[in-house]
Amino acid sequence: TAQIAVQASLTGHLVFSTLHTNDAPTAVTRLVDMGIEPYLVASSLEAAVAQRLVRVLCPHCKQVDNSPKALSFRDEIGLSANQELFRAVGCQECRQTGYSGRRAVFELMDMDEDVRQLVLRTSSTGEIRKIAQQHGLRTLRQDGWRIVAEGETTIDEVLRVTKAGRDEGAVVANGR
């Protein structure tokens, strides 16, 4: 149970567990909703990770996407004008899907002192997310934009697997 995991972590054990949440900040409020006292969550949780799998473009048939939508997104997510974006096409190698394999997008939220204070005050997920982003949290969608910039997946694929949220702005700038 969650209570046992928290007790183990408080005695010095490194505990890994899974929760079904949409993002990393929601894991904190989910633990509180499960009956774990906020002071225990704040003192026992070191980090929360969220992940989703995006389909990887087939290297045999992917094509440059110069559609107005792609060009608009390229500007919106902060990529340079010469950055190529790709679209799925389909070929015999990928069974006409345009994709071959999957790759993870991640969101890692460190439990720094400011986030711990928010947990102690039983702040909302939105408040926790806002502070975590100010302290460097890259959202699932922002990590997805990085993979789009690498030419590994499509804009539509990232939009499909990530939950829309506020402040999902670009951190990709120049493909980084």
Place of tokens 């493909």: 175
Q: What is the mean pLDDT of each run of 10 residues along the chain (176 residues)?
A: 88 89 94 94 94 98 95 88 94 98 97 96 95 96 94 95 58 35
Residue ranges and CATH numbers for the domains of the chain are 2-161 (3.40.50.300)
The pTM of this model reads 0.84
The 10s digit of each residue's pLDDT in 69-81 is 999 988 888 888 8
Give the pLDDT score at 13: 87
Give the relative orientation of helices 113-120 and 125-134 as an angle to the nearest 10 degrees: 170
